[in-house]
Structure 1
Amino acid sequence: MINEAERTEYEQTLARNAEAIARDIQPRDVVILHDPQTAGLVPFFVRYGCRVIWRCHIGVDQPNEVVQGAWRFLLPQVAAAHATVFSRRAYVWEGLDQPRVDIIPPAIDAFAPKNQELDGQTVAAILRTTGILSDGAAGQPRLEVSGLSVERTTDLFPGTRLPEDARLTVQVSRWDRLKDPLGVMEGFAQFVAPRVDSHLILAGPGASTVADDPEEAGVLREVEDRWHHLPPAARDRVHLARLPMDNPQENAIIVNALQRRAQVVVQKSLGEGFGLTVAEAMWKGRPVVASRVGGIQDQIEHDKTGLLIDDPHDLDAFGAAVVSLISDPAVADRLGAEAKRRVQRQFLAPRLLMQQANLIGRLLQSAK
């Protein structure tokens, strides 16, 4: 629980931040504050005469005592906002004035490097240039794609490139226990590799980024250590890809190519806020196997726009779902096509923009 000294430190820090920000705002401005870190700024901007929206991008399916304690600490500040916004109804805090609560799910930018259209030749060229797919010859040192340069090499573990014709199962995520890379690897080794010819790529941030986060570095070491104990036949088809992070746009277009090249994209999270990496894969027309947790279950309609695993710890069910899609390309194609249509209807930026514009319009109208 947060003690009095920590409360004082929080309030004093945010007071200094508020004084600095105040130089750039005017009364009647609309101020949008994001996530719990900014909650203490709400009363200041209300007193200043602004219309304040507080937006929370995170949440848990089953709030425990620690979460509820954080709610109690921040609720007086958050409750002062003219509107609060959550990604899911299930994430709305207890004690908030319901008429001032809006549910606005996040969305993806279809034209960003991570989501822009790429043809098959470009996808293959990107993955060869960054060192993931074998090119049968000396690698191309640099590739230009829509004005973006791809030139940095992905750090593969083990170091052998994948065959050009390999069927891929891919998860892209941080090296985070909640993303369960160990479970994905174990489920693939036990229940996918013995049944179908596919390679697994667990893709995450490169070593330079992980070095700054001791927890991520620890998870990555655990995954590498466990890889050494996989059965040899499975071990040959499990790959860890530490993606270059120096240039965010280069990283994004590599992720784009990796997801488009996958036969199946997985997101076997143990817990999730919303998980837009699922929508990103769905937008690319990929069949997705994911856990029924958090916002993932809002994105995927089971057996219509993807496959949901009820228990993320059930490795057999996870493996069976992946195998079913690899073994039946017609079903995989149907789910992928429906997935893209669902994202087009529900999870693209124009819908988000319109909802936010409507909310801002209501607040400005009520201030007259």
Structure 2
Amino acid sequence: MHGGLALSSGIESYEFFIGKRELNSILRLAEEIKDFKVLHLSSSKSTPAVELLKSLVPLLNSLGVNAKWKLVEGEPARGVAARVSRALQGLLDLDFPRDVEKVYVEAQRAIRGSLRADLVMVHDVELLPLVVDRGFEKWVWRCYSDISRPSPSIWPLAKRLVEMYDALVFPCREVMPRDLDLGKALVIHPSIDPLSDRNKPLSETEILSVLSKFDVDPDRPIIGQVCDFELYSNHKDLLRVFERVRERRRGVQLVVVGRLSSEGAWGLYEELLRLTCSCRDVHVLTDVDGVGDLELNALQRSFTVALHLSSRDGFGLSVAEALWKAIPVVAYPVGSIPLQVVNGLTGLLANSLEEVVDKTLMLMKKPWLARELGQRGRDHVKRNFLITRDLKDCLKLYACLLKSSSHPP
């Protein structure tokens, strides 16, 4: 069901982070749904859903819950699906005639024929039409993107599909469409797994080995950003910040880490390479270069300051990951970023490029402040954004839907 993906540890391994009382609370919730089958569906791309499910599904099974995960891949409408995903985020004005609409829905319906469960949780916008032809099982759609301003050409169809679900899960209220039935909608913040390869502790030797592999100097300051190559990732602002910081702080390096999994990513990646090819202090690294979870972990831990300059974001898990590593973060206040970066407490928010520059330089000049913000950021993630909290929220939702006919709280 989950191919060769690395799986997380059992629930007992997390008692160190959450304590015995919270662990027992999770165990009691799991007891309520042990007689039911839960199926998670996601696309096969490297998405926030896949990163979450690598940990969530094994944890559910370690609790005795009958949970499975199916990677839906190879559907005929994949090209259409990718465009629909971007249109729902308002990044593409899609012409969606009836014949394409029919192909898309029919292709997904064919996949639907093999599904059997008491509750189906659909991840990723590409899989929305799977709810067509639903049976008596409960259906939940979990959205990770900012769809607050979808393209008018696609939203009428998408809205009809969304409204067929029993519950809708969003990373925060700011990313919900305004005309959605809020009676079915609830917020479950995405989370990180502190024991995964992306977030587990690493030795200094391991970190230095990765830096050497990518020719990054550990003895000089590093500004870093981890963000997919998307139109909203704002890499041009990132370059401008780096250039202005470097004018006032010699020796600074820039590390940009992203994935090349989405439509259009290669073009944005190549443009960034073209803009930075003459500067040896800029390192643009991707999964194609051999950046896996362990490498990303090591690179993030080497950052002097982590930036997050996206113009739109559903949640921005890379922010929580940086905070968990006690790295100070400077970010634009979009989507749910202010929930993670509480300005002046767990990090710094900035409303302009110049403000990002000033705050980045301030953290470099005041390492005591960087350490203080970093530690408070880690504590904030521990309280609010670990996989165990996500697990508990999901168990509550499952129990609510499976044991009653009411909408989720």
Q: Indicate the TM-score class for this superposition, using the shorter chain for normalisation.
A: 0.7 to 0.9
Partner of 1:226: 275
> In structure 1, what is the equivalent of residue 9 of structure 2?
none
Q: Whole-Å Cα distance in 2 between the matches of residues 76 and 213 of structure 1?
A: 25
How far residue 3 of structure 1 moved from its aligned partner, in angstroms, is: 1.7
- The TM-score normalised by the length of structure 1 is 0.78
Matches of 2:160 and 2:287, distance apart in 1:
42
| Residues 258/58 of structure 1: CA separation in 2 closer, same or farther (3 Å cut) | same
- Tell me, in whole angstroms, the C-alpha distance in 1 between the residues paired with 2:122 and 2:101: 19
Q: CA deviation at 1:253?
A: 0.9
Residue of structure 1 in register with 2:3 after alignment? none
| Gaps in structure 1 of 5+ consecutive residues | 134-161, 230-234
The alpha-carbon distance between structure 1 residues 363 and 277, as it changes in their structure 2 partners (threshold 3 A), is: same
Aligned residue for 1:178?
232
Distance 1:214 1:85, change over 3 A: closer
RMSD: 2.3
SS in 2 for 1:115: coil
| Contact 2:237/2:353, CA 8 A, preserved across alignment | yes
Q: Determine the C-alpha separation between the residues in 2 that align with 1:51 and 1:179.
A: 35
Counterpart mapping for 1:31-50 below 5 A: 31-45=120-134, 48-50=135-137
1:321 counterpart = 2:379:
no
SS of structure 2 residue aligned to 1:174: coil
Alpha-carbon contact 1:245-1:251 (below 8 Å) kept:
no
2:264 aligned with 1:215 = yes
* Residue number in structure 2 paired with 1:58: 145
CA contact (8 A) 2:224 2:254 kept: yes
> What do residues 186-215 of structure 1 show as CA deviations (whole Å, max 9, x unaligned)?
22112x11222442323335xxx75x8773
Instruction: Give 2:337's aligned residue.
Output: 296
Q: How many residues align?
A: 312
Deviations along 1:148-194, one digit per CA (max 9) or x if unpaired, are xxxxxxxxxxxxxx3x411211112233332122221122112x112
**8 Å CA contact 1:287, 1:339 repeated in 2:** yes
Seen in structure 2, the aligned counterparts of structure 1 residues 96 and 112 have a Cα distance that, compared at 3 Å, is same
Hey, what's the Cα distance between the residues in 1 that align with 2:230 and 2:305?
A: 21
The AA in structure 2 aligned to 1:256 is: N
Contact 1:71/1:93 (CA < 8 Å) preserved in 2?
A: no
Q: Cα 1:92–1:176, aligned 2, differ >3 Å: closer, same or farther?
A: closer
Query: 1:84 is matched with which residue: 159, 168, 171?
Result: 168
Q: 1:95-106 residue pairs with structure 2 within 5 A?
A: 95-106=179-190
- Residues 199 and 70 from structure 1, CA distance in 2 versus in 1: closer, same or farther, beyond 3 angstroms? same
1:132 corresponds to: 215
Using the aligned pairs only, state the percent identity.
25
1:242 paired residue among 279, 285, 291:
285
Q: Secondary structure at the match of 1:93?
A: coil
Is the 2:229–2:269 Cα contact (8 Å) retained in structure 1?
Answer: yes
Structure 1 match to 2:256 = 203
1:169 aligns with 2:223: yes
Task: Identify which range, 170-179 or 213-222, moves more after superposition.
Answer: 213-222
**Rg bigger for which structure?**
1
| CA–CA distance in structure 2, aligned partners of residues 72 and 214 of structure 1 | 23
Q: What are the superposed Cα offsets for residues 22-75 of structure 1, whole Å, 9 maximum, x if unpaired?
A: 3xx15xx11111233222222422xx21011111111145x16x1x44332122
For residues 188 and 131 of structure 1, the distance between their equivalents in structure 2, rounded to whole angstroms, comes to: 19
CA distance 1:345–1:240, change in 2 (3 Å): same
Query: Does 2:321 match 1:284?
Result: no
- Higher mean displacement: 324-333 or 265-274: 265-274
What's 1:352 paired with?
A: 390
1:315, CA displacement in angstroms? 2.6
1:246, CA displacement in angstroms?
7.9
Once the 2 structures are TM-superposed, how far is the Cα of residue 244 of structure 1 from its aligned partner? 4.6
- Residue 106 of structure 2 is aligned to residue 12 of structure 1: yes
Structure 1 pair 174–35 and aligned structure 2 pair: CA distance change class (3 A)? closer
> Closer, same or farther in 2 for the Cα pair 1:17/1:213, shift >3 Å?
closer
Q: Provide the residue aligned with 1:107 in structure 2.
A: 191
Q: CA deviation at 1:308?
A: 1.0
**For the Cα contact (< 8 Å) 2:324–2:381, is it kept in 1?**
yes
Mapped partners of 1:322, 1:197: distance in 2:
14
Work out whether residues 254 and 283 of structure 2, in 8 Å CA contact, stay in contact via their aligned partners in 1: yes
- Amino acid in structure 2 at the alignment position of 1:265: A
Distance 2:267 2:107 in 1: 31
* Correspondence for 1:265 among 292, 296, 306: 306
Cα 1:60/1:99, change in 2 over 3 Å: closer
CA distance in 1, matches of 2:317, 2:383: 15
Which amino acid in 1 is paired with 2:175? Y
Residue 139 of structure 1: aligned partner: none
